[in-house]
Amino acid sequence: MTAKRIDGKAKAEQLAEAIKAQTAVLLKDHGIRPGLAVVIIGEDPASQIYVRNKKRRAEACGFHSVQHTLDENVSQADVLGLIDELNNDDAIHGILVQLPLPDHLDEQTITQSILPSKDVDGFHFVNIGKLTAGHTQDAFVPCTPAGCILMIEDELGPDFSGKNAVIIGRSNIVGKPMASLLMQRNATITVTHSRTSDLPSVVRNADIVVAAVGRPDMVKADWIKPGAVVIDVGINRVEKTIDGETKSRLTGDVDYDDVCRVASAVTPVPGGVGPMTITMLMSNTLRSARLSAGLPG
């Protein structure tokens, strides 16, 4: 079997076009332009790239997009002061603080200071609680798992009854919300992590595999049940030497070429989950703007 390549980039483009069209309607009919504020602290090169891509995508969707770049040594009080201003700014519907933060800042205090109604990353405890309770009508679901679910639905339809799903990784931003979303669609869930014994044999039971580990090419073909759908969340930078020349490239947690021999569909890295994550951020921001106007999300 040669698996289908799930084209997250193409799907993200398609969704972004729909978001752009809905944004134009919201502006025309209600005079509201979705506003996204991104706060970046320090000079981390990967974070700079992510933030640039988010800003570019927000502008392409027709959003009001602002970026606040703060010095590496900014005080926690100043960060909280900025978030307070953004919480009270009616032109801003979504606030995102790019992680990771410098060590002297407390991630939890900062993330939880964003109003739940503007928490388009879905990291506020109110949004996590609503997702866990299945009350998603007015909650924001974290962007990466939200994008993964759409790609799995494209392969399996909206209901995963009778399917076993194995998630590798139990982080708050991917593994745990992914489990809630898969369970809501009636999959039977196993969440694995670094203390799981004999991980390959657990994964071999899965019709749906979501790998969010941060270990390059860890998942191999002999871990995969024939016909499984495999979603690779991992983004790892590795050095590879070809013809004597060493180059840096991105790879996922799944050994793509190997797993494609057994699975029915696999997301590539890059071009899979990453572009969907950014588009789901735009979707959450549009939703927030609509909810702020009393319209259905």
Interface residue list for ligand NDP (CB under 6 A): 144, 168-171, 173-175, 192-196, 199, 212-215, 233-236, 273-274, 277
Least spacing, CB of residue 293 vs ligand NDP, in Å:
29
Q: What's the one-letter identity of residue 100?
A: P
Between 138 and 154, whose beta carbon lies closer to ligand NDP? 154
| Catalytic residue check, 98 | yes
Burial class (CB in 10 A: 0-12, 13-18, 19+), 250: middle
**Cα 102–chain centre separation:** 22
Please state, in angstroms and rounded to a whole number, the distance separating the CA atoms of residues 10 and 124: 30
Between 195 and 247, whose beta carbon lies closer to ligand NDP? 195
List Cβ neighbours of 169 (8 Å cut-off, separation of 6 or more).
175, 192, 193, 210, 211, 212, 213, 214, 233
Q: Which residue is nearest to ligand NDP (CB)?
A: 171
Between 34 and 274, whose beta carbon lies closer to ligand NDP? 274
Given the residues 121, 217, 253, 255, select the one marked as catalytic.
121
Between 9 and 33, whose beta carbon lies closer to ligand NDP? 9
| Catalytic residue check, 137 | no
| Catalytic residue check, 154 | no
Q: What DSSP element (H or E) covers 110?
A: helix 107-112
Least spacing, CB of residue 28 vs ligand NDP, in Å:
32
Least spacing, CB of residue 243 vs ligand NDP, in Å:
28
DSSP secondary structure, 134-151, as one string? T--TT-PPPHHHHHHHHH
Quickly count: other Cβ atoms within 10 Å of residue 27's Cβ. Answer: 14
Given the residues 11, 98, 207, 225, select the one marked as catalytic.
98
Cα radius of gyration rounded to whole Å, the chain: 19
Least spacing, CB of residue 50 vs ligand NDP, in Å:
9
For the annotated catalytic residues, the residue numbers are 54, 98, 121
